[in-house]
Amino acid sequence: MRRLFALFITLSLISCQKDTNSYTLEGDATGYVDGTPIYVYEVYKNQPKVIDTIKVMGGKFSATYPKSDDASIRYLRMESINTSIIFFPENVDLKATIYMDSLSTSFVSGSKLNDSYTAFSKKIREFNTQKQANMQRFQLARQEQDNLLITQIQGENMALVEEETNYKIQFAMENGNSIFSVMLITEMLTRKEISAADATNFLANVSPKVAALPITDDLKVMIANSKKADVGSPAPDFSAPTPTGENFSLSEAMGKYTIIDFWASWCRPCRLENPNVVNVYNKYHDKGLNIISVSLDKEGQKERWIQAIKDDKMDWYHISNLKFWNDPIARMYNVRSIPATFLLDENGTIIAKNLRGPALGAKIESLLGQ
């Protein structure tokens, strides 16, 4: 009898123990009707996919998932609403709080990475609120033609942007075991908010499991390409077809100073900048300035590309692979937005990047004006 009683107690204890191979995601979704679906996405190889659908019942929801040592990022999304609630599986029970009237401030808590990300999101919203307020002040000052106030607001905004950038870098450095940090640094490098050196410093602090992710390998490639096309580096040579079909290379286009100009006929900011580039070229070409434009026009749009060259009076060297954002030269130079320019000296060394408007004219004036 005692043995049976002891066995019963043992079995009871075992049956009451939590499954150690899974974690739960519970949440509050006050205001949503019963049966409202919540879609759970996982980001896999940079592509999101739905891995589960949870139903809201009585303003609450719950799901159980197997534990994993993989570094991953997931997010919740309500039906027909394009706002995501990001969370990170950390093999511990998590709690989601979804506000029906404010999905952007909804969050998941219960672990270090999720709590850190919630604090990060709140801080970024504060930065955005400050920038929006500055923009409203700037527009009012411009209407009133208050140049002193305009200069002051511009200075304040530059300081705010620098503070935000430093905050993002610090967050990424302190959360090197999060896939989100890799995504954040990648985005900042793409937007040229940080240097390749900053991104390299970040990679030195990531955890082994994050270092092994494909997205981290992509960042390494981006850093390598950034260094290849960074100021002070030799400009990588390239070649591509001209409008008449012959292959033409950067080495053939070199002058005393050479501008590599990435653009496209469909790019409105490029077309607006073209008259400025034309003026600079016409003024300094006889003194040694050459330009080679690399177009990111699409396949099947060759005639549109050629017509844009004529319309904008771009009387210099032109090449294009007609491969849109898959252009190998753009990838070689880590070009993620256009217009983009690289200024080379006579030795082919990159001495400046992304000069446009008055800054381009001033730089060329300083080099060839005398």
SS3 299: coil
**What does the DSSP assignment read for 194-249?**
S-HHHHHHHHTTS-HHHHTSHHHHHHHHHHHHHHHTSTTSBPPP-EEE-TTS-EEE
Give the pTM.
Answer: 0.66
Asked whether the CA dihedral 342, 343, 345, 349 is positive or negative, the reply is: negative
What pLDDT shows up at residue 14?
Answer: 41
In degrees, to the nearest 5, what angle opens at C-alpha 108 toward C-alphas 105 and 111?
135
Q: Are 229 and 283 in contact (CB under 8 A)?
A: no
In degrees, to the nearest 5, what angle opens at C-alpha 330 toward C-alphas 47 and 184?
40
d(CA 9, CA 15): 10
SS3 44: strand
d(CA 134, CA 263): 31
What pLDDT shows up at residue 10?
Answer: 45
SS3 288: coil
List, as own/partner pairs, every contact residues 58-62 make where C-beta atoms lie below 8 angstroms and the sequence separation is at least 24, other chains included.
58/34, 59/28, 59/29, 59/30, 59/31, 59/32, 60/26, 60/27, 60/28, 60/29, 61/26, 61/27, 61/29, 61/96, 62/24, 62/25, 62/26, 62/27
Write the CB contacts of 202 (distance below 8 Å, at least 6 apart in sequence): 169, 172, 173, 176, 181, 185
Q: What is the phi/psi pair of residue 55, to 5°? A: -105, 135
Closest by CA to 267, choosing from 327, 334, 338, 318, is 338
**What does the DSSP assignment read for 114-182?**
HHHHHHHHHHHHHHHHHHHHHHHHHHHHHHTT-HHHHHHHHHHHHHHHHHHHHHHHHHHHHTTT-HHHH
**What does the DSSP assignment read for 102-116?**
-GGG-EEESSHHHHH
Domains of the chain: 17-108 (2.60.40.1120), 114-228 (no CATH), 239-368 (3.40.30.10)
Torsion of CA 159, 164, 169, 170, to 10 degrees: 100
Could you check whether the bond before residue 339 is cis, i.e. omega within 30 degrees of 0?
A: yes
What pLDDT shows up at residue 6?
Answer: 46
How does pLDDT run along the chain (370 residues), one tens digit per residue?
Answer: 445 444 444 444 444 445 578 999 999 998 899 999 999 999 866 678 999 999 999 999 999 999 888 778 899 999 878 889 999 988 899 999 999 988 889 999 999 999 999 999 999 999 999 999 999 998 999 899 888 998 898 889 889 999 999 999 999 999 998 889 999 999 998 887 888 889 999 999 899 989 988 889 989 988 888 777 888 889 999 999 999 999 999 999 999 999 999 999 999 999 999 999 999 999 999 999 999 999 999 999 999 999 999 999 999 999 999 999 999 999 888 888 899 999 999 999 999 998 888 889 999 999 988 6
d(CA 117, CA 109): 9
In degrees, to the nearest 5, what angle opens at C-alpha 275 toward C-alphas 305 and 336?
60
Q: Are 261 and 245 in contact (CB under 8 A)?
A: no
What pLDDT shows up at residue 351?
Answer: 94
What pLDDT shows up at residue 4?
Answer: 43
Neighbours of 296 (CB within 10 A): 25
